[in-house]
Structure 1
Amino acid sequence: MRKLVVLGAGTAGTMIVNKLRRRLGMQEWSITVVDQDDDHHYQPGYLFIPFRTYARGDIVRPRHHSMVDGVQLVVGEVDVVDTSTKRVMLTDGRELDYDYLVVATGTTPRPDQTPGMVGSEWRRSIFDFYTLDGAEALAEALSAFDRGRLVVHITEMPIKCPVAPLEFTFLAEAWLREKGIRDRVEVVFVTPLDGAFTKPIASERLGSMLEERKIRIESDFIVERIDEERKTLVSYDEREVPFDLLVTVPLNMGADFVARSGLGDELNYVPVDKHTLLSVEHDTIFAVGDASNIPASKAGSVAHFAVEVFVDNFLQHVAGSPMTGSFDGHANCFVESGDHKALLIDFNYDTEPLPGRYPLPYVGPLSLLEETRTNHLGKLAFRYIYWNVLLPGRPVPLPSHMSMAGKHTPNKEA
């Protein structure tokens, strides 16, 4: 019997085992997925925890409840992958042999990598919302915050869900207005990018939204350290941004076992062919989702679209045939903008976010790069779709490749 081992039971890993279990014969293949616990987190929900729109019970479910019969879930922590013997060693001494391995362990905030971030002010005036505990602690801090300088900060790219810091900023600004204290709070958005986003058209649109809301942007800011005593961000070029409440997105890194196993780059992401997701060094190892080094957003939509391409490619590869699928880096992301509205962006490796309609050209019902209530409702509805359609591996009527139909560039508008 051939053995498939998937490391990571998050979005990508769960979709992979559910889809492949239906396609690989039970008598010919065993499928094992490994994760450190049995709690599956709906990570897009972290954004709403600080504003008490969601609570822990809304975004955490047992991992095994989302897996089809015939998949073995192993709860344990990976110590190292021995590629020479095709064996995964767990920290408790257990060993798992594999014929094919998929690394889907995602990416994790590492506040310990920035001097001064984790110290006396951590979870007192410095908070994150990329973890559930952090988002819950931030909810308590926000409820007591009524004046001063609120700074939203990105340490370095890449990060998972790269629009989430902007979403938090917009939601916080709207929340301050709703509480009637906006005039007592200065809001600053600090980013290592040269604008609000990585792509020009979207960056201009999102930047203008920050300006409209009187949110100052501090761009090209590469943080060197946080001065805890003075509660100040300090950049390598010696710029300083003081804060009363800092909401930071720490450096994101892949799993440590990737480094110990010699599988990763300097940030512990697995180098793969960006179209097939096959390791550039090992023809029995794939990396899917946030764990890979592909030049695409580390977002759930990328994992979804990539898995759709990966599954057919994997079946061809294990059959000894050439892989014919080519992932194009397709991503689409809702961007909450406050006041019960949101934008939607849709892009890939080669094409930046453009205005238009999605998913049906010219019809929508969702609008691209435009704030609408429909987009906001779409963001909220996605939680149901995630638990009941995406994770179980059921078909989603959306093409995995990005389409230009219904999109247009602003300079070509009549």
Structure 2
Amino acid sequence: MQARTVLVLGAGPGGSAAAQHLRHYLPDGDRVVVVDRTDRQTLGISHLLVMRGWLEPDAASISVRDALPQGVEFVQAEVQGIDTGARRVRTSAGEIAYDALLVALGADLRPDLIPGLKEAIDANAAEEFYSLSGAWRLNRRLESFSGGRVCIIVSRLPYKCPPAPYEAALLIADRLRERGVTCGVQIDLFTPEPSPIAAGGPEMGQTIRSMLQEQGITVHTGEELSAVDHEQRSATFASGRTESWDLLVVVPPHAAPSVLTESGLIESGWLVADRDTLRTEIDGIWAIGDSSAVHTANGMPLPKAAVFATAEAEAAARDIARTLGATAPEPAFEGIGHCWFIVADGMAGYIEGRFLDPPGPKLQLHPASADNFAAMQAELQDWSEQARRR
């Protein structure tokens, strides 16, 4: 049998997990090739730890090349175009032909989509923590912040790691309190959602709102950012509301990588994938993780989180292997997941649930404890060590 090539675009948690499963299911003669522009992989929760000062940036990532299993080829290059008819991908390192293509390119941060936001970040007038460098820069700002109004703004929906902005607000308050900066400090969080983590329902939203209020943080829902003026230190919302700030922390708009749109894979928004097989409507292409959209029973998109990307990776790898004639179990993606919810130094809760069950997601927020914080640290350590042992 002629050797086939399965090409994985993206080496984040989802892409790397998919490559590992594909290598397990496919014959040794078949190629598994992973392409990514960087050799570093991080987990989103690490950015919060860097922001809070509990983790150095260098310790927050691992080498993709070292972590991928034997028999998986890694190409460090920029994906420049996808020819679905010829089944070829153009990269900065040359063209690669594929028999099956798995898209796991993640979501790009696009501050340029909000007038004035990119300029504010470039001028060091606004901060973000969704990149490793941004998380570290925000950490430095928190170390010198002497008081005033902190505005944390979720600019657009959807975004990665839905609990992260609420955790960030709590951790910012926790760090300022630890430094003794309490007088004259006001922290406000603005989100387009009707309630905090709306997928969890009104009860969870009220629990999180109360949790933040206990720490002096005010939550403003239904507010979508429309513009930022860093010279005036003001933020304007679609409602017409304008707010001033001394420290602005923004979750930038997220978007699927432009190469997917330019290659004709996306008409609007995200690359839609079947919830069971992760197949797209384009023959020979599967999609997982943050650049994809899998819809829940109530029609809402599945949250963008690593826990789902890695579970989707297993289902997609099975379906790809079976499509190519290899032996693999039936694909099964159940949409079960959990994520940590850090509230203070040494204290964390977690959210868990079944996201694909009808009529909609069923979630539960478990209270914060020192044991949960220790379990979170152990999980991160295990992820790092397992990746290095592959």
Give CA-to-partner distance per residue, 1:92-125, whole Å, 9 cap, x none: 5x11000000000111211111101011564523
Contact 2:271 2:287 in 1 (8 A): yes
Which of 238, 241, 248 is equivalent to 1:239? 241
Other-structure match for 1:288: 288
Structure 2 residue aligned with 1:386? 383
Matches within 5 A, 1:165-176: 165-176=165-176
User: Hey, what's the Cα distance between the residues in 2 that align with 1:194 and 1:336?
Assistant: 22
Where does 1:66-105 land on structure 2 (aligned, <5 Å)?
Answer: 66-91=67-92, 94-105=94-105
Residue of structure 2 in register with 1:159 after alignment: 159
- The aligned residue for residue 297 of structure 2 is none
In percent, how many aligned pairs have the same letter?
A: 28
* C-alpha deviation, 1:242, in angstroms: 1.1
> For residues 264 and 141 of structure 2, what CA distance do their matches in structure 1 show?
40
SS at match of 1:246: strand
Task: Find the aligned partners of 1:193 and 1:9 in 2 and give their Cα distance.
Answer: 30
1:31 matched residue in structure 2: 32
The secondary structure found in structure 2 opposite 1:229 is coil
1:310 to 309, 316, 320: 316
* 1:324 shift after superposition: 3.9
Q: Deviations over 1:67-101 (max 9, x none)?
A: 11111111111111000000001145x11000000
Q: Could you tell me the TM-score, scaled by structure 2's length? A: 0.91
Separation in structure 1 between the aligned mates of residue 76 and residue 154 of structure 2, nearest angstrom: 32
- Shift in CA distance, 284/322, structure 1 to aligned 2, threshold 3 Å: farther
Task: State the Cα distance separating 1:139 from its structure 2 match.
Answer: 1.5
C-alpha distance in 1 between matches for 2:220 and 2:348: 23
**Equivalent residue letter for 2:208:** L
From 212, 218, 235, give the equivalent of 1:216: 218
Within 2, Cα distance between the matches of 1:153 and 1:134?
15
TM superposition shift of 1:204: 1.8
Of residues 329, 333, 337, the one that matches 1:327 is 333
2:18 maps to 1:7: no
Could you give the per-residue CA deviations for residues 109-144 of structure 1, whole angstroms, max 9, x where no partner exists? 111111010115645230011111111211111111
**CA distance, structure 1, for counterparts of residue 128 and residue 254 of structure 2:** 12
Q: 2:367 aligned with 1:370, yes or no? A: yes
Q: Which runs of 5+ in 2 are unaligned?
A: 295-300
Give the letter aligned to residue 134 of structure 1. G
The alpha-carbon deviation at position 275 of structure 1 amounts to 2.2
The equivalent residue for 1:255 is 257
Q: Residue in 2 aligned with 1:273?
A: 274
Question: How far apart in 2 are the matches of 1:234 and 1:307?
Answer: 39
Q: Displacement, 1:386?
A: 1.6
**Secondary structure of the equivalent of 1:182?**
coil
CA contact (8 A) 2:321 2:328 kept: no
AA matched with 2:184: R
1:369 alignment partner, SS class: strand
- Under a length normalisation based on structure 1, what TM-score does the superposition of the two structures give? 0.86
What is the CA-CA distance between 1:315 and the residue it aligns to?
2.3
Q: Bigger CA drift: 5-14 or 122-131?
A: 122-131
How far apart are residue 322 of structure 1 and its match? Answer: 11
- Native 8 Å contact 1:231 1:242 kept in 2: yes
RMSD, aligned α-carbons:
2.0
1:247 maps to a residue whose letter is V
| Alignment partners' CA distance in 2, 1:245 and 1:171 | 15
> How far is the alpha carbon of 1:352 from its aligned partner?
3.7
Aligned to 1:125: 125
C-alpha distance in 1 between matches for 2:250 and 2:40:
24
| Contact 2:278–2:287 (CA under 8 A) maintained in structure 1 | yes
Cα pair distance change 1:323/1:62, threshold 3 Å: closer
Q: Is the 8 A contact 1:151 1:187 kept in 2?
A: yes
CA separation of 1:32 and 1:225: change in aligned 2, threshold 3 A: same
Runs of 5+ consecutive residues of structure 1 not aligned to the other structure:
356-367, 394-414
Corresponding residue pairs, total: 377
- Greater shift, 98-107 or 14-23, is seen at 14-23
**Any idea what the Cα deviations from partners look like across 1:297-321, whole Å, max 9, x if unmatched?**
1111111222232332322222299
AA partner of residue 277 (structure 1): L
CA distance in 1, matches of 2:5, 2:328: 21
Higher RCO, Cα 8 Å, sep 6+: 2
Change (3 A) 1:391 1:270: farther
Code of the residue aligned with 1:373 in structure 2: it is A
| 2:273/2:293 contact within 8 Å kept | yes
